[in-house]
Each structure stands twice: as C-alpha cells, then as structure tokens.
Amino acid sequence: MQRPSIRKFLNNKYFAYFTAGVFMIFAVLFGISTGTVSVPILSIIKIISSTLFGIHYFEQVDPMYQSIVMNIRLPRVILSGLVGAALAISGAAFQGLLRNPLADPYTLGVSSGASLGAVLTLFFQFSLPVLGTFTLPVLSILFSFLTIFLVLMFARKIDRSMRVETIILTGIIFSSFLGALISLMIALTGDELREIIGWLLGSVSMRGWDYIKLILPFFMIGVVILIFNAKELNSFAFGEERAQHLGVNVQRRKLIILTAGSILTGAAVAVSGTIGFVGLVIPHLSRLLWGPDHQHLLPLAILTGSGFLIIADLVSRTIISPTELPIGVITALIGAPVFALILMQRKRKERSG
C-alpha cells in the first residue's frame, strides 16, 4: 500500500483543525503566562480549572497569580482572541463573497465606518434607553453596515457590472474619507479625544470582562450566520451567475453575508479600535494552507485569527515593556510584509503557470 504524500497529510482536515487548535491553545497559555510577573503554565491550568469546573487541588495556588490571571490577563487574552477571530472570519467571508484576496473589513471601508460610529458614541456619550451599555457596539455595527451599503451603492453607480476591483477601490475611497472625518474631529476637539486616539490605534488593554460581555453576543450571532452560509460562499467561488444556476438566491445571500461580516467587524471595532491586516492575511494564509472550502476555512480562520491576535497583543505589551505599543501597529508590521510575500508568490505562480 502506497504511503500518503506529505501534501495530502497537510491537507487532511483533522490535521488542520489539530494544528490550528494547538496554535490557539499555545497562544492563550503563552499570553496569560508572559508579562512583568511570569505565571507558571501549571498554575494557569489549576486556576482556570478550579474557577470554571470547581476542581480543588492539594497545593494552593499563589493568590497573586490568581488575581493576575483572572482579573488582568485572562480577560485580555479572551478579548483579543474574540476580536482576532471576528476579524479573521469576516475577512474570509468577504474574500469568498467577492472572490478577491484583497477584500477585508479594512479595505472595504467597514472598519472605518465602525470606527466613526464608535467615536461618535464615545464623544457624545450616547446611551440609548433600551440598549444601555450595548449602545456602543450596536451603533458601531449600524455604521459599519451603512458603510458597506454605501460602498456597494456607489460601486454600482460607477460600474453596473459591479466588478470586484471597483468595489474594493470604492471601499478604499470610503475608508480614506471616513478616516479623514475622524481625524478632523480629533483636530477640532484637541485634548478631549486623546483617549480616543489611542483607542483608534487598536488596543485590548484594561478592557476587562465587561467588554467580553459586549462583543460575545454579536460574535456568536455573526459566526453562526456565516457558518450556516459556508456552502453558499463555496458557490460564489464560481461567480454569481453560476451560483444562481446552482440554486443560490444571490442577492439575499450576499446581503446576509455582508450583514454578518458587518456585525462581526462593528463589534470587534467597538471593543478594540481599528486593527488592520488580520482580516486580510489570516484568511489568505488559511486558504493557502488548508484549501478554499469555506465549511472548513471559516472555523480554521477563527482558530488561527484568534491565536494570531493574542500573540500580536503579547508582543505589543512586552516588546518595549513597561510601555505598550498599540496592537494595530504590531499587526501592520507583521501583516504587511507577510501579505506582500503572499502576493509575490502568487504572481510567480501565475507567470510560471
């Protein structure tokens, strides 16, 4: 019997989930363990298992470790993981829907729209009576959805055929325009928006469990919608016309996928600010490693994106400790060269093919 090739082994879905899962677990444990005070991995496992499952150990864990893990590092790691997962899966969905690796929440203007909604909410201290603390993510999601709607509307006006390049260029124009509006608000108000400037650069520092409660319901809704539309995303890979022949209600599914992506992006931006390149690079790398099937690509993007942003946050708070860098700076420094290499490799393949 012939032994399976290495490529076939790497493409095995069980191996893919195992690799992505191990990467995420490693990132979580390493993210909680590392800092000004180093917490042993065994102590982390004991603290989490005793808190979540009520398991009692003979040896008591140092109360200082307990406080550091449960009050500072664990909520930070969980939040960065949720944000990374949300951006990665929405990026994978946008890329699949538009059939272009350059599509992501940032290039389509969705992140900038969400940022504008969040900045307006924070600056004017909006608090809707029914929503209360959920006002921030809801308005952020609303602005992100409004932005993608305007991008598609303007792209249709410019190009009736709605080519992918037109949509992406329109998204970049909207992103620049909305970014300029935010900058103008900051310039006019001066010191009052100093905190918002730091927030816009992307951070999960000092957010705590309350921010996890803010993003979690929207994360769950967005993920479930996209997972249930994975087969339709596979159909879109053949083009909208072919997808329609395969029985897909193109307009309806497109609206559902864009809405889910906007929910995830808006919620992520509301709790962490604008973090670029996660939704661009992670789905593309996952697709290269494990194939284009969205039924597996979306869950794998969640695991990989989560682990990636946890590591990026760890670097941001330790590289020049005790000073913290904005997490958006780290993702850009890592993501931009990686994506450039991916594009160069793709260009070489096209030339050789």
| 220 vs 9, residue with greater confidence | 220
Helix (H) / strand (E) element for 321: namely none
Position 64 in a domain: yes
Residues recorded for the chain: 353
Note the pLDDT of residue 191.
Answer: 59
Q: What's residue 347's pLDDT?
A: 73
**In a domain? residue 260:** yes
Into how many domains does the chain fold? 1
Query: Tell me: the pLDDT tens digits for 123-150?
Result: 777 787 877 778 888 889 899 989 988 9
Cβ count near 142 (within 10 Å):
16
Question: Does the pTM of the predicted model rise above 0.85?
Answer: yes
**In the structure, what pLDDT confidence band is assigned to residue 1 with cuts at 50, 70 and 90?**
very low
Q: Using pLDDT thresholds of 50, 70 and 90, give the confidence band for residue 22.
A: very high
pLDDT at 155 over 70: yes
What domain range is 337 assigned to? 15-352
pLDDT digits (tens, 9 = 90+) for 306-317: 999 999 999 999
What pLDDT sits at residue 2?
45
In a domain, 340, yes or no: yes
328-347 b/e (C-beta count within 10 Å ≥ 16 → b): bbbbbebbeebbeebeeeee
On whether residue 269 sits in a domain, the answer given is: yes
DSSP letter (8 states) at residue 106: T
pLDDT tens, residue by residue, 217-268: 999 999 999 999 999 999 988 888 888 888 888 888 988 998 899 999 999 9
Distance CA 177, CA 151 (A): 12
Task: Report helix, strand or coil for 74.
Answer: helix
CATH number at residue 80: 1.10.3470.10
Is 299 inside any structural domain?
yes
pLDDT tens digits, 45-88: 888 888 877 777 767 778 899 899 999 999 999 999 999 999 99
Question: Residue written as tokens 């195992």?
Answer: 18
DSSP result, 9-60? HHH-HHHHHHHHHHHHHHHHHHHHH-SSS---HHHHHHHHHHHHH----SSP
**pLDDT at residue number 274:** 84
Answer yes or no: is 179 within a domain: yes
Eight-state DSSP code of residue 23? H
Q: Answer whether residue 2 is part of any domain.
A: no
Share of the chain above pLDDT 70, in %: 93
φ and ψ at residue 343, rounded to 5 degrees: -65, -40
Q: What is the pLDDT, as a whole number, of residue 137?
A: 87
CA–CA gap between residue 154 and residue 191 (Å, rounded): 35
Query: Would the pLDDT of 190 be above 80?
Result: no
Average pLDDT score over residue span 25-31: 96
pLDDT, average across residues 292-318:
94
Tokens read off for 280:
């661009």
| pLDDT in the model for residue 73 | 94
Whether residue 6 is contained in a domain is answered as: no
